Structure 1
Amino acid sequence: MTGAMVTGAPETTGYGGTLAAEAARFAALGWMRGTSGNLSVVTGRDPVRLLVTASGLDKGELRPGDMVLVDEEGTAVPGATAAGKPSAEAALHARVVRLTGAGAVVHVHTVASVAMGRRRPGGIAFRDLEMLKGLGRSAHDEEVVLPVIRNSQDMSVLGDRLEAALDPGVPAVVVAGHGLYAWGADLREARRHTEVVEWLLELQLAEERGR
């Protein structure tokens, strides 16, 4: 899904429809409530281009044209689309792509990610769980630490914090008090990583509440 660059209206490329479908999936899970969250997919590498969900729209009701093409800084590409404006967080999506080579990024606002980010500001450790295989890690005898970074309204500052905390073996990060970012080679892999990490967070939260 990371081949040709989008140069025309997103709805004519297939990317817009795929993003809308993925957003509806996450919204149905309750992970993108009240217009929160955003998704992106890389549509070109030279120069870097990402198609991102437009700001302020209900993610369960997006249409294929409700997307904005942005550059490597997360800024809307002039003349590429009339869908609206990208979220300021598009800049962080673009930073993730530059740092990791990801082909898609998912950002959701889940209760478990916010709660566990507050409880474990130094990182959230997991081990001896079969679900870790979904991140390409061992299910036994290995500790996997999900990075947690402090939030900021300045995407440059937030991006610097993400870069400093980034673990090449963990395709996700929690922004404390905000939510979860996860990524992958394409939207399907980014979805899988999001679902796996969210499951791990929900389990951890449930176990802590039960103590």
Structure 2
Amino acid sequence: MTLPHPDRVRAAGAALAAEASRFSGYGWMRGTSGNLSVVIERDPLVLAVTASGLDKSELTDRDVVLIDEAGNALDPDDTRPPSAEAGLHAHIAARTGAGAVFHVHAFDAVVAGHRWPEGVEIRDMEMLKGIGHLAHGETVTVPVIANDQDMRVEAARFDEVYVPSTAEVPEVPALIVASHGMYAWGVDVAAARRHLEIAEWLLRFAVATR
């Protein structure tokens, strides 16, 4: 297949580097942990995902790898491996239609997943509006799945808990992977960031108050 123009890849890399720096500042991407991706092409699906093994506070616009819908590296001239969770990024993007998928190791998300392995219920919180739900009168559940090193297993587990949007109820654009971290996604980078930050805040509140 024809690879995306290098300028588009560099622009995606610059956007992800800025987000990684932001999340590293929050303490969500310590060391080399976590990974971020953005969709560059939809049909066939092509994502730019942060390269593996790099300090996420120091990324540049060149520190991304192109992957396909299965999470496989696309550029034969780029020998760097994509992040280990690249396959799940691609699956979430394909399944939800998201334009960006972010994965971080926020501490309170891990605690929440440990405390409520069947899902974290949140209700009557003003911040729920930031992930598309009602501030009152609706119980929102952030799903939790078990951790596995095989992203095909994780993709199947995602499908078991993911509930797409309907005319009545929007999706919950976040997921906790037990003993690991959390994912959030959105139509673009800004939406994915907003969903991640708000979901983490809600989880932190739940952990602190229950």
TM-score by length of structure 1 reads 0.92
Map 1:6-155 to 2 at 5 A. 7-9=4-6, 13-79=10-76, 82=78, 84-155=80-151
Q: Is 1:11–1:17's contact at 8 Å kept on the other side of the alignment? A: no
What's the offset of the Cα at 1:101? 0.6
Which residue, 190, 194, 198 being the options, matches 2:200? 198
Deviation at 1:14, TM superposition (A): 1.2
Displacement after TM superposition at 1:185 (Å): 0.1
How far residue 13 of structure 1 moved from its aligned partner, in angstroms, is 3.8
Q: Percent identity?
A: 53
Query: What residue ranges of structure 2 are gaps of 5+ in the alignment?
Result: 165-170
Secondary structure at 2:176 match in 1:
strand
C-alpha contact 2:100 2:187 (8 A) present in aligned 1: yes
Letter in 1 for 2:17: A
1:124/1:33 Cα in 2 relative to 1: closer, same or farther (>3 Å)? same
**1:24 corresponds to which letter in structure 2?**
S
Shift of 1:143: 0.3
Compute the RMSD of aligned alpha carbons: 1.5
Tell me what 1:187 maps to. 189
Distance 1:116-1:8 versus aligned 2 partners, 3 A rule: same
Change (3 A) 1:102 1:12: closer
Q: What per-residue deviation string (whole Å, max 9, x for no partner) do you get for residues 42-84 of structure 1?
A: 00011100000000100000011011000011110033x6372
1:6/1:103 CA distance change after superposition, 3 Å: farther
Shift of 1:115: 0.6
Question: Aligned residue pairs: how many?
Answer: 203
CA distance in structure 2 between the aligned counterparts of 1:70 and 1:142, rounded to whole angstroms: 37
User: After TM superposition, which residue ranges in structure 1, 4 or more long, deviate above 6 angstroms?
Assistant: none
Tell me the CA shift for residue 6 of structure 1. 5.8
Mapped contact 1:134–1:196 kept (Cα < 8 A)? yes
Letter paired with 1:140: H
- The whole-number CA distance in structure 2 between the counterparts of 1:153 and 1:106 is 18
Q: How many Å separate the matches in 1 of 2:78 and 2:7?
A: 10
TM-score when scaled to structure 2? 0.93
Determine the C-alpha separation between the residues in 2 that align with 1:141 and 1:13: 44
